């Protein structure tokens, strides 16, 4: 058992992390978010339901923008924050982020079209992807995106040719793999990259690295404007050390390119991956701390390489959307299962089945992710028992929360919420078992506004051509 197990606590008042900022328990013991009670949400929109605390998500976006702007202004540089749309994107979210002064990162035709149709100016959108289609590249160019992040050498030619076809120019960044991989509290640094993203900084043949070759190819094409270098080192990172190492590596490449060609690239993007609290007692990587530490690292690297401090950009996704969201479920079957005598977890485990599962939250099955859950429809005085929250799918791996203490009197009909599902929840949802995907409701100041409609079985049948 690796989860930190917190006794269920239904006392009135604010909940704190890992719950959204406005989440609190009413005197009757029910949870309210954004001033809206969970019974109202369940009655109006049904369950499962993704609930987003709009004020919290906006505040998180502002906190990153303000922290990076201030920390880099202190060292004479300009910083931009791109919200990584893959964490969770719909038109309402794209507008919130734009209103809070962020730009939007996209990686597919669907994400790009969603941001554009929300009215986000092309110049404030970036396009990523390790296997961009011609359609994606052309839409990006036609809508004047601020940058296309090139991920391979063939893409240099493809994007330049597309720009030539359309009679324009393309602003591009080159994504490099620094060999730094981070996640949790640790980072590792390796010379060899065995993954699909980016271009290596290491010259395996002792000559020119793939990253440098791509940069020289970009400079050789007049249709391309080289606007920056890009690095993204991982996810759920709780320490700045990995960003320091990556900044140093990217800055060294920037200096090397300047020495070879006289071109000093204006911007460095250090990606996203800032970690959040998934369980009670965990901490998140604070925007001010990461902004100050990365600004320090970029300045040090500039001094070491004798170059000027570049403008920078960052791409947080999870740390903006994750903690602002929760998933509301209705409990169905509750089953006590006897454990083997040798189990360290005790004599029994309570299996609590909810009306969704791996179709609305695949992260537990995919990454062995840890989550926190509570009964949120009522106060219970029953002592906590070791429970596992499972879904309704035909897989024994259909687990939403591996280990959590839930009140021993859990019963069918209880409302249960899982915290920190705002990122990579709806965006990774599937229709497995032909289960329609839940909708998303934004709550703020006592008002609930659906921002993504719940799917119905009719929606599924509409795709089925018989």
Q: Is the peptide bond before 349 cis (omega within 30 degrees of 0)?
A: no
Among 15, 36, 84, 174, which residue sits at the site for ligand PLP (rule: CB under 6 A)? 84
In 3D space, the residue among 61, 281, 49, 265 whose CA is nearest the CA of residue 174 turns out to be: 265
Identity of the residue, 273 or 407, whose beta carbon is nearer to ligand PLP in the bound complex: 273
Among 267, 315, 398, 414, which residue sits at the site for ligand PLP (rule: CB under 6 A)? 315
Q: Give strand ranges (E) for 97-230.
A: 103-106, 125-127, 147-150, 170-177, 180-184, 186-189, 199-200, 224-230
Q: Does 323 bind ligand PLP (CB under 6 A)?
A: no
- H helical segments located in 221-378: 241-261, 287-305, 318-321, 363-367
**CB 113, CB 139: distance < 8 Å:** yes
Is 90 tagged catalytic? no
Q: Give strand ranges (E) for 55-191.
A: 79-84, 103-106, 125-127, 147-150, 170-177, 180-184, 186-189
**CB 306, CB 258: distance < 8 Å:** no
Question: What does R_g of the chain's alpha carbons equal in angstroms?
Answer: 24
Known binding residue 363? Answer is: yes
Collapsing DSSP to helix, strand or coil, 384 comes out as strand
What does the alpha-carbon distance between residue 180 and residue 264 come to, in Å, rounded to a whole number?
23
In 3D space, the residue among 50, 60, 97 whose CA is nearest the CA of residue 427 turns out to be: 50
What does the alpha-carbon distance between residue 171 and residue 303 come to, in Å, rounded to a whole number?
27
Q: Does 317 bind ligand PLP (CB under 6 A)?
A: yes
Q: Does 181 bind ligand PLP (CB under 6 A)?
A: no
Known binding residue 58? Answer is: no
Site string for ligand PLP, 395-424 (x = CB under 6 A): ----------------------------x-
Residue 270 CB, shortest distance to ligand PLP, in Å, is 9
Known binding residue 315? Answer is: yes
Identity of the residue, 101 or 384, whose beta carbon is nearer to ligand PLP in the bound complex: 101
Q: Name which of residues 326 to 355 contact ligand PLP (CB under 6 A).
A: none
Which of these segments, 18-26, 247-255, 315-323, 440-448, binds ligand PLP (CB under 6 A)?
A: 315-323
Identity of the residue, 302 or 423, whose beta carbon is nearer to ligand PLP in the bound complex: 423
**CB 421, CB 371: distance < 8 Å:** yes
Identity of the residue, 45 or 64, whose beta carbon is nearer to ligand PLP in the bound complex: 64
Known binding residue 278? Answer is: no
Residue 102 DSSP one-character state = -
How many residues line the site for ligand PLP (CB under 6 A)? 16
Q: Is the peptide bond before 48 cis (omega within 30 degrees of 0)?
A: yes
Site string for ligand PLP, 215-234 (x = CB under 6 A): -----------------x--
In which residue are the tokens 């640094």 written? Answer: 189
Among 146, 271, 356, 422, which residue sits at the site for ligand PLP (rule: CB under 6 A)? 271
Identity of the residue, 178 or 330, whose beta carbon is nearer to ligand PLP in the bound complex: 178
Q: Does 136 bind ligand PLP (CB under 6 A)?
A: no
Among 60, 86, 372, 392, which residue sits at the site for ligand PLP (rule: CB under 6 A)? 86
Q: Name which of residues 241 to 260 contact ligand PLP (CB under 6 A).
A: none
Q: Does 370 bind ligand PLP (CB under 6 A)?
A: no
What does the alpha-carbon distance between residue 295 and residue 289 come to, in Å, rounded to a whole number?
10
**CB 29, CB 379: distance < 8 Å:** yes
Among 171, 273, 391, 425, which residue sits at the site for ligand PLP (rule: CB under 6 A)? 273
What does the alpha-carbon distance between residue 465 and residue 98 come to, in Å, rounded to a whole number?
39
Q: Does 132 bind ligand PLP (CB under 6 A)?
A: no
Structure tokens at 138: 């052309």
Q: Does 198 bind ligand PLP (CB under 6 A)?
A: no
Known binding residue 34? Answer is: no
Which of these segments, 207-215, 268-276, 367-375, 413-421, binds ligand PLP (CB under 6 A)?
A: 268-276
Identity of the residue, 86 or 426, whose beta carbon is nearer to ligand PLP in the bound complex: 86
Known binding residue 286? Answer is: no
Among 152, 177, 209, 235, which residue sits at the site for ligand PLP (rule: CB under 6 A)? 235
What does the alpha-carbon distance between residue 288 and residue 285 come to, in Å, rounded to a whole number?
9
Among residues 191, 338, 341, 394, which one is catalytic?
394
**CB 235, CB 273: distance < 8 Å:** yes
Known binding residue 367? Answer is: yes
Known binding residue 83? Answer is: no
Known binding residue 293? Answer is: no
| Cα-based distances in Å from 273 to 173, 310, 314, 319, 335 | 19, 21, 9, 8, 37
**CB 96, CB 61: distance < 8 Å:** yes
Q: Does 85 bind ligand PLP (CB under 6 A)?
A: no
Residue 233 CB, shortest distance to ligand PLP, in Å, is 10
Q: Does 357 bind ligand PLP (CB under 6 A)?
A: no
Which of these segments, 19-27, 50-58, 92-100, 317-325, binds ligand PLP (CB under 6 A)?
A: 317-325
| Chain contacts with ligand PLP (rule: CB under 6 A) | 84, 86-87, 128, 232, 235, 271-274, 315-319, 423
| Residue ranges at the known binding site for pyridoxal 5'-phosphate | 273, 315-318, 424
- Show which residues are catalytic: 394
């Amino acid at each position: 058992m690796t989860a930190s197990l917190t006794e269920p606590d239904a006392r009135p008042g604010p909940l704190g992390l890992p719950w959204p900022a406005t989440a609190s328990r009413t005197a009757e013991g029910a949870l309210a978010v954004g001033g809206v009670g969970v019974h109202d949400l369940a009655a109006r929109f049904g369950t499962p339901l993704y609930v987003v605390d709009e004020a919290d998500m906006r505040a998180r976006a502002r906190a990153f923008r303000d922290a990076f702007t201030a920390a880099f202004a202190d060292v004479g540089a300009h910083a931009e924050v791109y919200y990584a749309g893959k964490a969770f994107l719909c038109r309402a979210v794209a507008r919130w982020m734009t209103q809070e002064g962020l730009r939007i990162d996209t990686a597919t035709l669907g994400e790009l079209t969603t941001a554009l149709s929300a009215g986000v100016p092309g110049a404030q959108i970036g396009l990523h992807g390790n296997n961009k289609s011609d359609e994606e590249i052309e839409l990006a160019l036609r809508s004047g995106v601020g940058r296309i992040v090139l991920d391979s050498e063939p893409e240099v030619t493809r994007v330049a040719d597309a720009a030539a076809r359309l009679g324009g120019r393309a602003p591009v960044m080159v994504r490099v793999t620094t060999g730094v991989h981070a996640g949790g509290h640790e980072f590792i640094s390796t010379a060899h990259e065995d993954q699909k993203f980016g271009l290596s900084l290491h010259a395996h043949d002792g000559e020119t690295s793939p990253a440098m070759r791509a940069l020289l190819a970009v400079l050789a094409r007049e249709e391309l404007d080289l606007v920056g270098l890009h690095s993204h080192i991982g996810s759920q990172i709780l320490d700045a050390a990995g960003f320091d190492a990556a900044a140093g590596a990217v800055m060294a490449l920037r200096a090397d390119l300047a020495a070879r060609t006289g071109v000093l690239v204006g911007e460095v993007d250090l990606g996203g991956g800032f970690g959040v609290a998934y369980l009670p007692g965990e901490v998140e990587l604070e925007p001010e701390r990461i902004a100050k530490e990365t600004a320090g690292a970029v300045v040090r690297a500039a001094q070491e390489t004798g170059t000027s401090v570049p403008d920078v950009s960052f791409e947080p996704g999870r740390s903006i959307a994750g903690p602002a969201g929760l998933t509301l479920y209705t409990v169905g079957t509750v089953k006590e299962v006897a454990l083997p005598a040798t189990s360290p977890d005790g004599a029994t485990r309570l299996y609590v089945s909810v009306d969704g599962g791996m179709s609305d939250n695949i992260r537990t099955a995919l990454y062995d992710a840890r989550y926190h859950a509570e009964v949120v429809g009522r106060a219970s005085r029953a002592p906590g028992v070791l429970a596992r929250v499972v879904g309704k799918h035909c897989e024994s791996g259909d687990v939403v929360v591996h280990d959590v203490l839930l009140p021993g009197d859990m019963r069918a009909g209880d409302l249960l919420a899982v915290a920190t599902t705002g990122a990579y929840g709806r965006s990774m949802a599937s229709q497995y078992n032909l289960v329609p995907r839940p909708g998303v409701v934004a709550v703020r100041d006592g008002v609930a506004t659906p921002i993504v409609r719940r799917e119905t079985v009719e929606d599924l049948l509409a795709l089925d051509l018989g």
